Amino acid sequence: MPQITVDYSAGLDDRLDRAGLAGAVHQAAVDTVAARIPACKTRFRRAEETVVGDADAPVLHVEVALLAGRTEEAKAALADAVLGLLPAHVKAPEGVHFSAEVRDLEPAYRSAIG
């Protein structure tokens, strides 16, 4: 926990600081919802095509999934924090559509280290 997924447009390949973004989101989770850095897991998924409205446009969306128990206010605060840090991790962020969502993991979520 937290499970963090970053979906980004292929056009951001050379503009996105993945390691820096992951570290910043991890720290935001620690600061906002009392997560622990060793428990944060981030994966990046490249989208070959993205369309916003009727135009081809770059998109960067972060989803943070947490164990249940956080208030809606805490989840909204984390979403706001993540949204606020996204432009700093993209070279030339003008025109990029940024979004963030924080949700609860399903009750059946399990985790293990092999």
Rounded to two decimals, what is the model's pTM? 0.95
| Confidence (pLDDT) at 55 | 87
Q: Give the HSE-up count for residue 63: Cα atoms under 13 Å, Cβ half-sphere.
A: 11
Q: List, for residues 47-66, the tens digit of each pLDDT value.
A: 999 999 998 899 999 999 99
H or E segment and range at residue 29: helix 18-33
- 58 with 95: CB under 8 angstroms? yes
